[in-house]
Every structure is written in structure tokens, then in C-alpha cells.
A and B are shown apart, each in its own frame.
Chain A
């Protein structure tokens, strides 16, 4: 018991004497959180809408389809038909996101796959939204390209016979709608990162509804936990290299009490960092604070699990450097797959499925449920038991391995 206290005192002192790492663990999630909040205009801010001024001098089916595509792209674009001069003026006054001019002959050119210049004037004061307009156009351009590869002859025939005409057969329309549908699907994927920022769809379920940056809170916290686990697991190498691990090994009780003390100290740090991040995040998103204790506990136990797994892995690295590289190679894919970069909901289905199987992705899903108040006690109690069991198993294997690790 004295040893446990002394060990914690020692490890906490040592950890706290490395304030850079500590600051990093805190600053990283807070920084990302702030960046996301700013990018999305805040949790309560208005939904960002790209107001697109559209000059339609072409008046063909193709331009109609294009306008429709903008209107349907996730409700992001507000399309406003304007005259050329008026649009220009209003954009200069900073009223809109971009001005798109569909000059005469656009539809014909698309059908015949002839080069055509689309004029797009963007508002330099906005960053993300004009870029989205451009990207959407790019996607459509590609869609047209593929459409021609698939049904080029028919399109060319269309152009030759009835260019500019607004009379199409049902079959023509059917073909084109399929193409549009595909385009829309592609669009979803293509716009994926920005769309993440714009996601506002209310989620199903009984608890609090998730808004945009709220979806990032658990991801950011988990990211921080992964970084902490990575940084703290390196400590076993420090103990080894400065020879203190040998002294652990030959102490009367062996290395176990020392390792427990280290894990408990780490848990204190993880708890502290989680407390800060969760308090700020929950206060900001107006989540009820009675959910904090469970979320905090969950976060701490998850962090400990990551640490004990990573620590065990460190024992099999050939050097401290190799260990650090190994940990980094593990942390980043886990972070991406496990929903810390992009919410799992926004991932392709297969990726989300893999992500939910990563320890952090799995922990994240439950943390999200806890924060939104829709977690089931059977879920999280089984989760706690599973994590505790895994941590204990990894730590026992670590203790077994330490004597060998300390000598070599």
C-alpha cells in the first residue's frame, strides 16, 4: 500500500514535470474543438447556406438538371435565378457565395461533349462554400464524362436532333434521371469532408439530438485518449533505459505493484484531461451534467484500456524509437477508423463497420450514447466489464514480460 502511494507520487511527479506532453493532450482536443466550432458557426449558429446566383441564358434541359442538382445537394445551396448584371452587383456586395453563368449553348455542348466554358465567380470573403460550388461542378463534369462513355451516342443523337428543344421522350428522361441519381450518390461521397461540417440531420432516438460539432466531442476526446495512451506507454521504455525497471524486477514484491501504481497515476491524468474536455464540451453543447460522471468514468476506463494494450505492445518493440513508431502507426489508423477524424455516421458502411470494431471506435459509440442520454445500463456495464478484463489481462501479460524486457 505504501509502495502504491509512493509509486503514484513518483509517477505523477514525473508526468507533471513534462508539461509539454500534458499541454499537448489538453490543447489538441480543445484546439480541434474550437476549430470545428468556428468552421460550423457554432452549435447554435445558423446552418450555413451557399447562396448561388444563377444566370440561366441557356434554358435547356441540361441547365435545368444542373440547377436541380444544386438545389438537391443536401440542402446546402440556395439557388436564386438572376440577371447577369444584377447577379454581379449583388455578389460584389458580398450577398452571395458565387455567381454561376450558364451561357447560351451550354446544354448543347454538354450533350455533344464539346468543350464549353462555364463562368463561375466566387465570393473571396467566403472560403468553404464557394469551394463546394466548384467541387460540385467538377463532379458534374465528371458525371457528364462518364455519361458519355455509357450513353454517348444517344446523347449526341439527342443533341443533333433536338438541341435546345425542351421536348424529350419518356425514355430520355428515364435515362437522364438515372444519371442524375448516380451523380447525386457520387456527390454524397465526394462532398464527404465538407458535408461532415454541414451535417445537421437530427438523429433518431430518444435522447438529446446531436448537432454538428456535438458529434465531434466524443471523437476528439477519444483522440486525446489515444495520444495519451501513446505518450504514457512510452514511459515503460524510459523506466527501462534509465535502469529503474531492473530495480522494480528485483524488489521483494516484483514489478506488479510498480506497474499498478503507474497505471493508477495514468488514470488520474486521463481522468483530469477527460474532466476538462468533457466539462467544456458538455457545457458548450448544453448537455445535462448528470451525464458527466458516467461519461468520465467511461472515458477514463477506455483510456486505461488503450494504455495497457499499448504498453504491452511496447514491450515487444526492439527499441524505444521502434516502440514510438509502432505506437504512432497504430494510433493514426485507429483514430481515422475509429471515428475521431470523421464521425462514423459519415463513413462508407464497410469502413464504419470496421471502425466500430476498433477499441476506440467501440468506446466512442458508447460514449456518444452516454452523452446523448440514450445508453443502456446493460450496454455500458458489460462494456466496463469487458474493458476492465482486457486491461487486467494486458497488464498481467506486461508484468510477466517485464523481467525479460528489463534485462535485455
Chain B
């Protein structure tokens, strides 16, 4: 339903998105996982029509977003990263307006607004101006405004940033429900747990590039059994490398003068051995972190850094 092929977007000299290619299907939640500045919002902007792509193609339900703008956009529901609501209007008025903006009217609009107020849990506050809402309520309404016209493709840009646990639950349930009802959902986040919990298929993006993509199961297979072991301290690169090479099940992910990352099978059983080897190589260790197999460890393995750096 969404086809992105060779998408590039430059801001002057800055390359925000390079050669991004993926497809997302109906009834699927496709996750775009990456740290801040990875290019998630830019990718979404190119799909929604907010940004003109520098190169590549984007199709929504077969309609090119640049050439068949109207047809492509009519099927899209977009939840921007920043809350985008009329602060001095009520929740009901906001929903009615955005519904009308996508062609709904009359009783259909009224019923749909009523429905959305129900599923977002805002029914009892529907007459209040939005500026009195909490962050979580605004986020729910922000999502609601994109749902009024029953879009077949839903683009969500970090919709749970800065919301309380309860609102977050509710938001994730809503998203899941949309997918179950047949929508194609593209969901960006920098929360690994959220991606793991929610998404059927995932692409990990960093520096504007997709570094890996697949179903959750496929990605876990790539992660393998290895833990990620991170040491901070002082390292003599050559001696450390010599000491660790040829050690069974140990792989150096990253090695600098003050940090070392290893991918190790069953790391918790091998700590003593590794400490000893590193000490013998003249390394000084101040801090150790062990990350069990997860998307986080996959990200570290692929980029040599943590997701939330």
C-alpha cells in the first residue's frame, strides 16, 4: 500500500534521507525505528506530501504522491510529530473540521466524530477548548484528527512522545485496532520497546539510511544469541585486539581509545575470562554494561552506538 523506492531528500548540503526503499502492506504496522535525526520525519514528510522528494518515488495505494497528489493524499491519515490542533477550539470542533477537510459532512461526519471521541476517550471533555487538555489528551486528539476520514494508510510520527503510561496504552491500542481493521500503518519511533511490541515489520534507520529491515522474527534471527558487552575505560587498541582475537564466540563491534563493544554469546558466563584477558593487555576498565539480545543490541551491532545516544 505504501511503496517507497530510492527515496532521497537533501536540505542543501545535508542529506537527510538517502536511498530509502521499503513497502508496507495493509493490515500491517510497519515500524521505522531510529535515533533522533535519523530521517524518520523527513521520510514521512515525503510520503505525506509535505516535502518534495529530491529523488525516488513514493506511491500510496498505487498513486504517485507527486504526480497524483489528490488521489494519494485522500487515502492518507497523518499524525504529525508535533501536536497540530486548533488550541482555542474544542475537541469536537477540531475533529469536525479535519473531517470536513477530507470531504466528510452531514450525519456521517457527526457520527464519525462521535465515534472518534469515544475511542480516544475524550467524549466527556469534547466541548472544552483544547488548550486546557493535558499532553496525553492532545496526543490522542492529534491521532483522532487523522482517523476521522477513515484513511486506508496511516502515517504516525512518534505519536507517544511525552505522554503518560495510560495515554500511551490507549494510543497503541488505537493503532493496533486500525491495522486490524485493514489500515496500513507506518509508525516511526525511537523507542525500541514500542517497536518490538507494536510492529509486524521493521526498518531500522540511521543517518538517513535503512540499515536493516524485516519482520520482527527475521530481525531477531539476525541479532542471534549474542549479548552486547560494553566496556568504558582506557584501551590500547592493538593489544586489546590481539588479546580478544581468536576467542570463541567473541566479536569486536567497536574499539576506540576509551570504549570497547563486543558481541559475545553467553556473555554473563564469560565476564571473568574477558576481564582477565583485557587486564593482561594493559586495558583499564571503569564501567561495564551488558545488553541482552534485542533490537537495541542489533542496533548497536550494526551502528556501533546506542539508540539513544
Chain A partners chain B: yes
Q: Is the CB of B50 within 8 A of A403?
A: yes
Q: Is the CB of B100 within 8 A of A252?
A: no
Total contacts A to B, CB within 8 angstroms?
76
Q: Which of A7-15, A210-218, A357-365 contacts B (4 or more CB under 8 A)?
A: A7-15
Pick from B49, B89, B104: contact of A249, CB under 8 Å: B49
Q: Is the CB of A10 within 8 A of B76?
A: no
Q: Which residues of A contact B (CB under 8 A)?
A: 2-3, 5-7, 9-10, 13-14, 17-18, 242-244, 246-247, 249-254, 258, 403, 406-407
Residues of A within 8 A of B274 (CB): none
Please, could you name 11 A-B residue pairs with CB atoms under 8 Å apart, sorted by A?
Answer: A10-B86, A10-B97, A242-B84, A242-B86, A243-B80, A247-B78, A247-B101, A250-B76, A251-B101, A251-B102, A407-B51
Q: Is the CB of B51 within 8 A of A6?
A: no
Q: Is the CB of A250 within 8 A of B49?
A: yes
Q: Which residues of B contact A (CB under 8 A)?
A: 45, 48-51, 69-70, 73-74, 76, 78, 80, 82-89, 93, 96-98, 100-105, 129, 145
Residues of B within 8 A of A250 (CB): 48-50, 73, 76, 78
A7–B98 alpha-carbon span in the complex (Å): 9
Q: Is the CB of A247 within 8 A of B98?
A: yes
Count chain B CB atoms within 10 A of each CB in A5, A9, A13, A247 and give the residue with the most. A247
A257 (CB) vs chain B CBs: closest residue = B101
Looking at the assembled complex, report how far the CB atom of A141 sits from the nearest CB atom of chain B, in whole angstroms.
Answer: 59
A406–B73 alpha-carbon span in the complex (Å): 17
Looking at the assembled complex, report how far the CB atom of A87 sits from the nearest CB atom of chain B, in whole angstroms.
Answer: 65
**Secondary structure of the A contact surface, majority rule:** helix
B97 (CB) vs chain A CBs: closest residue = A10
A6–B49 alpha-carbon span in the complex (Å): 23
Looking at the assembled complex, report how far the CB atom of A3 sits from the nearest CB atom of chain B, in whole angstroms.
Answer: 6
Residues of B within 8 A of A2 (CB): 100, 103-105
Pick from A5, A13, A247: contact of B93, CB under 8 Å: A13
Residues of A within 8 A of B87 (CB): 242
Residues of A within 8 A of B48 (CB): 250
Pick from B74, B83, B88, B96: contact of A252, CB under 8 Å: B74
Looking at the assembled complex, report how far the CB atom of B136 sits from the nearest CB atom of chain A, in whole angstroms.
Answer: 17
- Given pairs A246-B84, A407-B51, 17 additional interface contacts (CB within 8 A): A2-B104, A2-B105, A3-B100, A5-B100, A6-B105, A7-B101, A10-B86, A10-B89, A14-B88, A17-B88, A18-B88, A243-B85, A246-B50, A247-B80, A247-B145, A250-B73, A250-B76
Residues of A within 8 A of B86 (CB): 10, 14, 242, 244
B76 (CB) vs chain A CBs: closest residue = A250
Residues of B within 8 A of A407 (CB): 45, 50-51
Q: Is the CB of B50 within 8 A of A249?
A: yes
Q: Is the CB of A246 within 8 A of B80?
A: yes
Residues of A within 8 A of B73 (CB): 250-252
A18 (CB) vs chain B CBs: closest residue = B88
A2–B87 alpha-carbon span in the complex (Å): 22
Looking at the assembled complex, report how far the CB atom of B60 sits from the nearest CB atom of chain A, in whole angstroms.
Answer: 12
A153–B22 alpha-carbon span in the complex (Å): 98
Q: Is the CB of A14 within 8 A of B89?
A: yes
A249–B84 alpha-carbon span in the complex (Å): 12
Residues of B within 8 A of A247 (CB): 78, 80, 84, 98, 101, 145
B131 (CB) vs chain A CBs: closest residue = A242
A155–B298 alpha-carbon span in the complex (Å): 104
Looking at the assembled complex, report how far the CB atom of B121 sits from the nearest CB atom of chain A, in whole angstroms.
Answer: 22
Q: Is the CB of A6 within 8 A of B101?
A: yes
Residues of B within 8 A of A252 (CB): 69-70, 73-74, 102-103
Q: Is the CB of A243 within 8 A of B49?
A: no
